[in-house]
Structure 1
Amino acid sequence: MDPPKQAVPVISDGNTTDDTERQGPSENEKAVDTSPPLNQSISSWKWYSICVGLYLTAVLYGLDTSIAADVQGPVLESLGEIEKLSWVGIGFPMGSVATILLLGSLYGSFEIKWLYLASIILFEVGSAVCGAAPSMNAMIVGRVVAGVGGAGMYLGCLHYIAVFTSLKERALYNALVGLCWGTGCILGPVVGGAFASSGATWRWSFYINLVLAAVTAPVYILWFPRHNPQPTTPAREKLAAVDWVGAVLNAATFTLFMVVLAYAGTAWDWSSGGSIGLWVAFGFSLVSYAVQQAFCIFTTEQNRLFPVQFLKRRTMLLLYFTTASASASLFVTVYYVPLFFQFTENDSAIKAAVRLLPFITLNVSFTMVSGALLPVFGYYMPWYLPSGALMLIGGALMFVVKPTTSVGAIYGYEILIAVGSGLAAQLAYAIAPAKAKANETSAAIGFINVAQLGSIAIALAISGSIYQNLGLRYLRDALREFDYSQADLKSALAGAKSVILTHSDAHVRELAIGAIVKTISSLYGLVIAAAALTLVSAVLMRRERLQLEVAAG
């Protein structure tokens, strides 16, 4: 989930005591770029078609970010292996966060058209693998590949806008990217639920990407302009400058962390050799990555992948925490509210997805509102206080829900989380570049990208692990007097058509649903923790005013 910044930073008022943060612009930074934008050399109808192509990729990126929220049950029925089910949601953001820093580095050096087209192809290949998946392992591979391609599409979209539009109109084009992503995110659960409930089956939730890409393929291939940011530098020299060691360690660290969270306690016991080995491998990879980036081993300070310097700056760290918290709160709710209604109200996949629409719509709306009003008031710290408070209240109320809690009450609790997470979701994309030094703008955006995408993957991995481990324990305790196998318990936990939920008496179903709802409500402990982190971060933020310029209301 990764919409662009909604404001263009111009100047910080310098009200800060940390000399490693930006103190104010130089005279060159204050100057406005008056050179004509490159899109003026492109005919109007061709530029409009190019924009349609760009915004379609933003819609597809948003769609695939949330589409898995409502197809997990049907996927499990088809492919089995409940211990791997969480990867249907985890795989996509994990693929993105594992590669987005590398892709950003490549876009800064190589021909953007070929990178963009390669990303689209990779995304479509991943979607095709998901749609045709004969097993859960194939589904996982497809989701990861699609996530890598999706990150490349998103970055390519932003680079095209940055290169071919003027500074004045750029914020408008970026805001439209955010709007298109939000539209895709809203439609994701509905599209997934609609296909899962129809004769087309859940597989067309992924195949639809191929149809849309095929229709617009001529636009991408024939009309998209080329741009090489370093035309005089040989390709070999560009490749040598890339921090490949950092890229491998970055991908390995995130991947191992996701794997250990997904499998420890489910596929393997916590004390098993497999779990311990994964934790050791993750720790070694993390330490190696940290040392390699900190001391610029096999790279230079200018080319290293991760902006280590931001870890020494209070404001940048706090923006990282608040962005990660908002994204984690959003996606825990998006993935488990439909499951709650499928159990308690016996909803179909499409009906459960429709119930989620108010939540996502309000979240996206308040994301746009906060982004539009931030430049008007300038002060950023006050936005995070109500954000944390609303998420905390909503998360605490969802933490105590029961099967008998009314639908209206659930909607109300959701709204609190939706508004709270929406207020803080995208602000850092405008604030971080304003607080960074002049030559660190791209690094600042990448830093916040990692916070946002990384928190989605980590939150889904942790919540999936808790759901399977704690849910199995609660179900086993609730149904101890009945002779159900471990496979039956796992099947019921996934919402599949298990013996427990379809061929048992009302008392057994009531006990099982009570245990599952107790499990789902416990996941909102993550939202409570994220909200508390947002509130603490808000209190520690500077009471300063930034001057930000926007080109669109």
Structure 2
Amino acid sequence: MEADTETINASTHSNHELSEEDKEKPTVADNSDDGKLRTEASEAPRLSAASDSDQNTQQPKDVITTRTLRGFKWFLAYSSLLSTVLFYALDSTIVADIQPSIIETLGETEKLPWIGVGIFLGALTVLPIGRAYGIFNVKWMFLSLVVLFELGSVVCGAAPTMNAFIVGRVIQGVGASGCYSGAITYISMTTTTRERPLYLSGIVATWSLGSVVGPVIGGAFAQSKATWRWAFYINLVVAAVTAPALILCLPNIDPAKELKLKEKLRTQDWIAMVIFLGGSTCIAMALTFGGTVYAFNSGQEIALWTVSGVLLIAFILITIYHPTVPRKDRLYPLHLMKSLELNILHYALFAAAGTMVTTLYYTPLLFQFTRNDGALMAGVRLLPFLGGMIFFSVLNGVLMPRLGYHMPWYVLGTALMLIGSSLMVTINTTTSEANIYGYTVLLGGGCGAYFTAGFSVVQSIVPVAELSNAISFMATGQTFGQIIVLSLGGSVFQNVAVKLITQTLPNVSAEDAIQLTTGTSSSAFEALSADHQSQVIEQLTRAIRDVFIVLVGTSGLGLIGSVFLSRRKMY
């Protein structure tokens, strides 16, 4: 089975100038039953901020007029793609409530935030991987990244030290982000514009399901004889089940089949990749280690921020003035930032992704402290959040293409996130479970209202040749949201918690105070008297509450930005 795509050559041979026009000439598609896809587009739609007079003009037509795969083969292909998204979702959150078990086995409590941040740091490769999907064989690259994810899972499961575990998490992140962006790329390449939002909503529904089931599965393993290590080994079982469909049903798409391997490799912006990933790592380390591993005014912390700044400047300069790489092949699609619309969509996804992972990590911890939940029950507490996210994501996928407008969904989503996070800032140890569930439903609904909408919207306002760039642009916003907001939240939690605990219990060292943040099952917590335990729980709850102040800020900015989105009918 082979699919030949001539115009889905996302970032290789054409570089359209941005304009204010929003027209596209008719597209011709020839789709055969064996999965071959042939498209011709004489002109792609341009980026547009669309004035009111443009709203009634002809909307961009599909690059393809019908899906290349149908029936049972499409079901298997689509299901297998969702299964790889499930990989990423499960392992992004599976550690949310088994962190105490991992720390108990591997030690090094000060590296606690890296248990969650590690996978998202690896996921920053979504930018170069997204670019690569526009030029290398999509199927074989996708399958290679699935294998890489499984390798990372094995490293995590067998890790003898915390450093080895973190390396495994980073490897998982590289593979998982490739699976995630690959699933979006495949769906974008094989569906029409009108049906695409519905199929992309399946990704966010799967993501939501996996993100919430992840802590439940992790908690179940942590409390069983299998131990937390099987929370990672289980990925091998899932991969074995889905491998036949991945290998046999996914279409074989080569966007630049006329280029040889060496020519394809030369199109990659290797220098920019090194600078981008190095700078991103330094920023994550500075945010995560500040105030816990390194003092804010320490030489190490200052050095991390300094190097981050230098590499950021270097990345901007090399993106603009790179002497050896053509503009169309440069790593970051800087030209997309000329569009206010795309910048708002990019930031909105940043805010939603940060809200989602922060809620997923700190809601179980809240219930572990205030309700003395075990790992399994703490994961179950996330089900209301799951319900809100899935309901609104499917509602968006069904209604947005029919109604045609995307702006209201962004206003609704960011408003719900702002309300939900503001309410979470009011919690204390006596806040009822029903209230907390209600707050998390609002947060989940806000994320789901537009989480994958951006991926389909940007494809309606960029040229066909910019498809891969647009997906990478959005996916980068999502990944940075997960890293920066979660890292910042982790830094706030640990710093505030240590400060409050040491003020309440002066005899507790800063090191023991950090260990107290891992949960009620830690040896440091169990050694306290009942009265001191109650005081610690109260202070930790206040620290968790402060984490959601970060979400108030990010969602508030998102709400302001969403008001300026285009009112143009997109579908």
**TM-score, normalising length: structure 1:** 0.89
Q: Deviations over 1:261-286 (max 9, x none)?
A: 11122111112221111111111111
Alignment pair present for 1:545 and 2:568: yes
Distance across 1 between alignment mates of 2:134 and 2:251: 16
Match of 1:87 among 114, 117, 120: 114
Change (3 A) 1:533 1:35: same
Match of 2:35 in 1: 39
Residue 387 of structure 2 is aligned to residue 361 of structure 1:
yes
CA drift of 1:215 comes to 3.7
Alignment of 1:254 with 2:250, yes or no, is no
Alignment-derived partner of residue 27 in structure 1: 25
The aligned length equals: 524
Root mean square deviation of aligned Cα:
2.4
Q: 2:469 aligns with which of 417, 429, 443?
A: 443
User: Does residue 268 in structure 1 map to residue 294 in structure 2?
Assistant: yes
Counterpart position of 2:551: 527
Residue 507, structure 1, aligned to residue 531, structure 2: yes
Amino acid at match of 1:83: E
**Which structure features the higher share of helix residues?**
1
Q: Which shifted more, 205-214 or 37-46?
A: 37-46
Match of 1:517 in 2: 541
Alignment map for 1:195-344 (pairs within 5 Å): 195-220=221-246, 226-344=252-370
Deviation at 1:462, TM superposition (A): 0.8
1:514-543 alpha-carbon deviations (Å, 9 max, x no partner): 11001000001111101210221023333x
Q: Which has the higher contact order (CA 8 A, sep 6+)?
A: 1
Q: 1:37-86: per-residue Cα shift (whole Å, max 9, x none)?
A: 64379997666544443332122122122212222121111112122111
C-alpha distance in 2 between matches for 1:233 and 1:173:
31
In structure 2, how many angstroms separate the alpha carbons of the residues matched to 1:339 and 1:498? 13
Query: What letter matches 2:489 in structure 1?
Result: S
**Stretches of structure 1 lacking an aligned partner (at least 5 in a row):** 1-18, 549-553
SS in 1 for 2:570: strand
Residue 425 of structure 1 aligns to a residue whose secondary structure is coil
Indicate which of 70, 78, 83 corresponds to 2:97: 70
- Counterpart of 1:27, as a letter, is K
* 2:123 counterpart letter in structure 1: S
Give the Cα–Cα distance (whole angstroms) in 2 for the partners of residues 47 and 394 of structure 1: 38
1:495, distance to aligned residue in structure 2 (A):
0.9
Distance 1:505 1:136 in 2: 30
Q: In the alignment, what sits opposite 2:58?
A: none
TM-score by structure 2 length? Answer: 0.86
Amino acid aligned to 1:318 = I
Query: How far 1:329 moved relative to its partner?
Result: 1.5
1:154 aligns with 2:180: yes
Distance 1:343 1:21, change over 3 A: farther
1:100 Cα shift? 1.1
* Corresponding position of 2:40: none
How far off its partner does 1:500 sit?
4.7
CA distance in 1, matches of 2:193, 2:502: 60
Taking a change above 3 Å as real, the CA distance of residues 298 and 360 of structure 1, as seen in their structure-2 partners, is farther
Q: Is the 8 A contact 2:142 2:179 kept in 1?
A: yes
Q: Judge which range, 317-326 or 210-219, deviates more.
A: 210-219
Q: Deviation digits for residues 165-205 of structure 1, max 9, x if unmatched?
A: 67776666544444433332232121111111222111111
CA distance in 1, matches of 2:449, 2:192: 28
Matched, 1:190 2:216: yes
| Letter of the structure 1 residue corresponding to residue 568 of structure 2 | R
- Say if 1:196 and 1:399 are closer, same or farther in 2 by CA, change over 3 A: same
Ranges in structure 2 where 5+ consecutive residues have no aligned partner: 1-16, 37-67
Deviates more, 1:31-40 or 1:429-438: 31-40
Segment drifting more, 157-166 vs 446-455 = 157-166
- On the 8 A contact 2:152/2:172 being kept in 1, the answer is yes
Q: In structure 2, do the counterparts of structure 1 residues 432 and 165 end up closer, same or farther at CA, with 3 Å as the change threshold?
A: closer
Instruction: Give SS of 2:470's match.
Output: helix
Please list, as runs of the form range in 1=range in 2, the aligned pairs for 1:47-126 lying within 5 A after superposition: 49-97=76-124, 99-126=125-152
